[in-house]
Structure 1
């Protein structure tokens, strides 16, 4: 939000010697974040008002003129210009050398220099409004129209900033910093805050009073959505330009002047923060009714979009139907027309949540809705009404109020809070006297009564719509007004009753460190939504997947129930840069099931879990190596992260996986994840053309950390150990897990066996059909002596005999 300092000074007399940097700093530290402070006049450096003395034809160009211009330096300057509305005696905006403009209002800014145009020397440039950023304040009616400043009675050479009243300071406020402060969404609210901050008097807005009686009335049929509605019927008005001062201020803060009737409503909104609206009274039949819309009703808005209303929408209607979408936008039927002579001024208050829902439903957030949805207090209608009527009377001296109705059906009760002063001092960490506390709160408009150690605080209405509701809010007001910089840093003491060891949290951290540091994988972070392309490729059945009602893009409608679609998207995006890489992600996933109540039945959330997923990508054709890398990472994870070991089974193929290369992951007979090769069809649909991708995903909430470390000390072997390789023929469907259990199971094949490891497998012409050769590395040793070669051979033979007996293995002879 942009604010004009000169406009703020209408309501609070800020000292002329006030340091702007200090003002911005103090506002940021106490109230709202000031993102930028701009001296508006700097936009018009090296620009002056010039007076055209005479106009001559250009000798070498039919469409150009040579203008003799007085710019106040005692010398007439020649300026070549192609404007179609040039005339002698005309005041124009002249950009002298050094000024920054945009040619024809387009492209990048350029610095004006002395130059020659078609052989004639030209000093500077006579500008159109859009070339110096004033296109919305002085809109041109046709192309090549020069900005005519003849209405500004200033001598030649006057700086353009002085002539157009641009010597102002613009404060840019971060909207997020005042989301909970609806009282600040206007110049008057910020002025009130500055007055409190520096203990300056605040100019009150004189209330509007009238004794008009008529049949004009406003009926509110939905009081929960519209606490107050003021309608004023007026005649003697018409469509005409508003005064330049009003247009200037509206333009400075980012809006576009339109005409006097509309400008008054926008000006009042920018001043008070309370939106207003003007209806063409001749287009309103009977009286105004505020109600919920009915199913099937339609409304053509001012932006020419026709909407189908629903019962949750609040509308302003007459006897013929809806004429405006309450709090969002007026309808085309009630528009201010060129011949409008009577208006109905709306100054109303609407319930915040309903306005926010309606604006989102029709994707139509306006200046009005963005303020109403912050919860404006209904008492502010008095200020908006008073300012509106002041400007209507100033601009239309013949104005007559022919009807007035203030329907205030649901009065706002100020928030009342009791605060224990002992608690307040403890939380502040500083002793403040009762007078200091009361003085700070009084400056902000709070009423304070202190009896003993209890302080009873009544918040002003403009802070009672949710902003101030608990004692901690009062503490914040005292602290920020005292000044956060004025609180000394102090040591605090606390008592630890015992160590806190959150093993489940530590486990997730250990897993991420294991994959990143030990396995060399790159961690990624993705958005919680999924691209439809990757969802349909990897998860063809979308039942149970939540969809966003307002997705960030049309093809990002699903919220993630699995990490795999986003991992596949990351692989696709990195394929052009890397041929081999591995990535992982640990994040929250959501399921459309098992809704759990948070506060009540109307506040519920879907099931949420934390998953761990990874992808191994390679352009190499050896799928076996990629599979072993992925399985190795998962197989060793329990050991290095201190969690209960899981096992691999082959029971239920994942929908996204290759028909052969896949495994399920089980913990205590419960499936907790899958790993496998991304199927070729799914890979092509994801746009992954040249990489093979191994994926895995684990339910992180099912992983169980060990209750305590099970590590124990073991001596290094005192006697040498020997690696002994054997190659045997097995059936092609034999699994390494079964081989290992036979060799190293509860009853080892030999007491001298220390370990067994898979080395390789081979299938070829030398191997019988239906068989495969598996090479196994046995580690053989003794804790008592150095083994002889015969003892090593005997241990290996026992292993081979046991494999032959239990698995039908044969010693490979070739």
Structure 2
């Protein structure tokens, strides 16, 4: 939102030496976030007023004219111009050499230089509005029309700065709308004037009161939905005319980003920008028998001012005439056929107060965010209507004195009332960290319009003004915020919180999730993907997912994406299908939440879905058997590197719907629970998902069913001081002796032992097997000699024979 500091000065006395940096800093620290501050005068820097002394045809160009122009210097300047509305004694905007303009209103500003155009000298440019950034202030239908200042400023002095003539020297403050969301009182210049008066100590000027006259005839107004419209005032004017607005009004409306239209429309916009209360004007001849505010009927259609044809919902609130003809979408925009028209001679002024949430829903559904809806959806107080009515009547009397009010009517179903909040002074001191006195708090709040009473002990009773009582200020913490922000957040010293760290917090489930991701990415060479939680029905069908247990979206992003995922496999299939168009060999994984219906009873009015974490893996290639074994190997080692309790891969009874019936396994935990499934992607699922030219192996694991383990205990072991000796030994042992038995038997004799191979065959007696293992010998005192090594081998073989019945092969 943009506001004008000059406009604000109409309502409050501010220091004359305020600069852009100070205003931006003070507002940001105390009220709202300022995004930028600009001076409109900078848009026309270097541009001056010129008076055309003569106009003659260009000898070498039919569409150009050669003008002699007085720009207040010692001689006339010759300027070649293609304007179509040039005439003698015309006051125009001139860019002399050295000034910057936007050529034909496009691109970046360029510096003008004296030059020749088709053989004739040209010392500058007679500007159109778009070339000096004033196209909204001086609108034209053709870019060849130059700015004609004669009508508005017939006595403009040649050489005068254009910014001075148009009174553009101002500070336009652009405020971040998000910082205004909970401040409906700041959506008009008067509300910001109140804030700046509190910040700088100025005096806020009161606005005029609305006083209906007994001479006005009654006008019928009816509200059929008291929950959606709290107040509606209608004032009927006669003898009005949609003539152009005076320049000062056009300039003020333009300076804050709106486009001047005509006097009747501009007055309504001016009042909205001044007070924050939207108003609207209807053509009286198109409004029969009064005003009726009602909900729309099913199938009803309304064409708006911007040409939109709306198919209305039963929840949309309409402004209708007494014959029940829809003439406007309440709080959003007026109808195209019933608002101010070029032939309008009578006007029905609307000033109303609507329920905020309903306006928000209507504007969002129809994708119509207007200046009016942006204000109504913030919850405006009802008393703002009186300010808007009084200001509109005052402006009409001043700017179109022939206009008269012939009738007025209203219906007021509820009124915004002040709110009382009790706040302990000790609470404010404790939470602010400052030694506040009751007088300090009372003075701070009173400048903002709050009324405060102190019981002399600790309790402050704060009466919140109506313009802050629509939900903005409702609890004692809001009062704390008001006090602290007016002191200035930059005035509080930083006091770091005292944190005592007694012991680190281990979150094993997060550690194991990270370890699983690292294992799959670094060791297994897979790519991690992130997919949307809503799934296209095509991939649900490919994965064999039914929708019975899925969570449906009320407003899906697309018609075929109406459900949240109940498994990661459908999204993984989509990723495989997309990538298989470009690659044959790749691997993907995703670790994310899935969503399922919650059949349990509602708690605290909410029925949230069940959310659990799953892991899905897919690898592709040309050889299905190799893919199956590769995925099996990845899953076999995952518990070790992922720090979870191991599982086993077993053939089960219930395969996943997407798996091939001849190649699938269950992942079974130590307590017998199935924690996941793996398998080759079936031909049906492959074709349904659109996977082409490759086979795929897929697995899905329920991460929340896995038990996370702590990382292994790390111990320090010295490196050997003398060389290790590597030896192989082949022994013949009973067939039922395991490698674990051998490893345990030799552990005290060697530094390390590893299994190499085992053999059963004709050269080994029946019931026996040959096993080769490798071991390493070392001494902490010396390098082993050949004799030492041979002696160690004999001791080792002797122990194996004694414990396991082994014989040297």
Bucket of the pairwise TM-score, normalised by the shorter protein: 0.7 to 0.9
Structure 1 position 220 matched with structure 2 position 226: no
Change over 3 Å in CA distance of 1:434–1:579 after alignment to 2 = farther
Change over 3 Å in CA distance of 1:573–1:300 after alignment to 2 = same
1:145 aligned partner: 145
2:438 to 426, 434, 438: 434
Structure 1 position 605 matched with structure 2 position 608: yes
1:476 aligned partner: 481
Structure 1 position 133 matched with structure 2 position 125: no
Change over 3 Å in CA distance of 1:627–1:92 after alignment to 2 = farther
1:357 aligned partner: 361
CA drift at 1:237: 1.0
Change over 3 Å in CA distance of 1:636–1:33 after alignment to 2 = farther
Asked if the contact 1:71–1:156 (Cα under 8 Å) also holds between the matched residues in 2, the reply is yes
2:742 to 749, 752, 758: 752
Q: Secondary structure at the match of 1:751?
A: helix
Structure 1 position 233 matched with structure 2 position 245: no
1:279 aligned partner: 282
> How many angstroms apart in 2 are the aligned matches of 1:395 and 1:324?
26
Asked if the contact 2:237–2:347 (Cα under 8 Å) also holds between the matched residues in 1, the reply is yes
2:641 aligned partner: 640
Structure 1 position 94 matched with structure 2 position 80: no
Asked if the contact 1:724–1:796 (Cα under 8 Å) also holds between the matched residues in 2, the reply is no
Asked if the contact 2:305–2:334 (Cα under 8 Å) also holds between the matched residues in 1, the reply is yes
CA drift at 1:74: 2.0
Change over 3 Å in CA distance of 1:712–1:62 after alignment to 2 = closer
> How many angstroms apart in 2 are the aligned matches of 1:672 and 1:100?
71
1:173 to 172, 175, 190: 175
> How many angstroms apart in 2 are the aligned matches of 1:723 and 1:596?
68
CA drift at 1:428: 1.4
1:70 aligned partner: 70
CA displacement, residues 141-180 of structure 1 (integer Å, 9 cap, x when unaligned): 3352222111223211222222222212111111112211
1:291 to 289, 294, 299: 294
> How many angstroms apart in 2 are the aligned matches of 1:724 and 1:253?
93
Asked if the contact 1:753–1:795 (Cα under 8 Å) also holds between the matched residues in 2, the reply is no
1:190 aligned partner: 192
1:486 to 486, 491, 499: 491
Asked if the contact 1:756–1:778 (Cα under 8 Å) also holds between the matched residues in 2, the reply is no
Asked if the contact 2:726–2:774 (Cα under 8 Å) also holds between the matched residues in 1, the reply is no
Change over 3 Å in CA distance of 1:457–1:335 after alignment to 2 = same
Asked if the contact 1:596–1:607 (Cα under 8 Å) also holds between the matched residues in 2, the reply is no
Change over 3 Å in CA distance of 1:146–1:470 after alignment to 2 = same
2:268 aligned partner: 265
> How many angstroms apart in 1 are the aligned matches of 2:681 and 2:107?
48
CA drift at 1:17: 1.1
CA drift at 1:351: 0.7
> How many angstroms apart in 2 are the aligned matches of 1:42 and 1:419?
48
Asked if the contact 1:66–1:80 (Cα under 8 Å) also holds between the matched residues in 2, the reply is yes
CA displacement, residues 547-584 of structure 1 (integer Å, 9 cap, x when unaligned): 65556678876655555566667778889999977665
1:163 aligned partner: 165
Change over 3 Å in CA distance of 1:59–1:503 after alignment to 2 = same
2:706 to 703, 707, 712: 703
Q: Secondary structure at the match of 1:11?
A: coil
CA displacement, residues 187-234 of structure 1 (integer Å, 9 cap, x when unaligned): 122221111122221121111212234331322221111111111122
> How many angstroms apart in 1 are the aligned matches of 2:538 and 2:121?
61
Change over 3 Å in CA distance of 1:410–1:93 after alignment to 2 = same
Asked if the contact 1:643–1:705 (Cα under 8 Å) also holds between the matched residues in 2, the reply is yes
Change over 3 Å in CA distance of 1:189–1:679 after alignment to 2 = farther
1:206 to 189, 205, 208: 208
Asked if the contact 1:421–1:455 (Cα under 8 Å) also holds between the matched residues in 2, the reply is yes
CA displacement, residues 384-422 of structure 1 (integer Å, 9 cap, x when unaligned): 222222212212202222222342211223222222222
CA drift at 1:704: 3.0
> How many angstroms apart in 1 are the aligned matches of 2:386 and 2:730?
95
Asked if the contact 1:595–1:607 (Cα under 8 Å) also holds between the matched residues in 2, the reply is no
2:17 aligned partner: 17
Q: Secondary structure at the match of 1:752?
A: helix
Q: Secondary structure at the match of 2:318?
A: strand
CA displacement, residues 106-162 of structure 1 (integer Å, 9 cap, x when unaligned): 455444333322222322222222222222222213352222111223211222222
2:422 to 408, 415, 418: 418
Asked if the contact 2:220–2:289 (Cα under 8 Å) also holds between the matched residues in 1, the reply is no
CA drift at 1:104: 2.9
CA drift at 1:650: 5.4
Q: Secondary structure at the match of 1:230?
A: strand
2:119 aligned partner: 119
Structure 1 length-normalised TM: 0.82
CA drift at 1:35: 0.9
After TM superposition, the structure 1 stretch with the greater mean CA deviation from structure 2, 519-528 or 777-786, is 777-786
Asked if the contact 1:129–1:139 (Cα under 8 Å) also holds between the matched residues in 2, the reply is yes
Matches within 5 A, 1:459-538: 459-493=464-498, 500-512=505-517, 514-515=519-520, 528=533
Change over 3 Å in CA distance of 1:92–1:750 after alignment to 2 = closer
CA drift at 1:501: 4.5
2:391 aligned partner: 387
Q: Secondary structure at the match of 1:94?
A: strand
Change over 3 Å in CA distance of 1:535–1:166 after alignment to 2 = farther
2:748 aligned partner: none
CA drift at 1:347: 0.9
Consecutive unaligned residues of structure 1, counting only runs of 5 or more, are 726-742, 760-775, 799-814
| Number of aligned residue pairs | 758
Asked which structure has the greater CA Rg, the reply is 2
Structure 2 length-normalised TM: 0.82
1:304 aligned partner: 307
CA drift at 1:680: 8.3
After TM superposition, the structure 1 stretch with the greater mean CA deviation from structure 2, 444-453 or 748-757, is 748-757
Asked if the contact 2:598–2:608 (Cα under 8 Å) also holds between the matched residues in 1, the reply is no
Q: Secondary structure at the match of 2:640?
A: helix
1:323 aligned partner: 327
CA drift at 1:32: 1.2
CA drift at 1:16: 1.6
CA drift at 1:682: 7.3
> How many angstroms apart in 1 are the aligned matches of 2:559 and 2:96?
49
> How many angstroms apart in 2 are the aligned matches of 1:723 and 1:622?
39
> How many angstroms apart in 1 are the aligned matches of 2:130 and 2:449?
44
> How many angstroms apart in 2 are the aligned matches of 1:159 and 1:564?
70
> How many angstroms apart in 1 are the aligned matches of 2:71 and 2:541?
69
Asked if the contact 1:328–1:366 (Cα under 8 Å) also holds between the matched residues in 2, the reply is yes
> How many angstroms apart in 1 are the aligned matches of 2:123 and 2:688?
63
Asked if the contact 1:753–1:781 (Cα under 8 Å) also holds between the matched residues in 2, the reply is no
Structure 1 position 374 matched with structure 2 position 378: yes
Q: Secondary structure at the match of 1:188?
A: helix
> How many angstroms apart in 1 are the aligned matches of 2:39 and 2:435?
41
Change over 3 Å in CA distance of 1:635–1:293 after alignment to 2 = same
2:5 aligned partner: 5
CA drift at 1:599: 3.3
> How many angstroms apart in 2 are the aligned matches of 1:259 and 1:3?
21
CA drift at 1:241: 1.0
> How many angstroms apart in 1 are the aligned matches of 2:133 and 2:288?
42
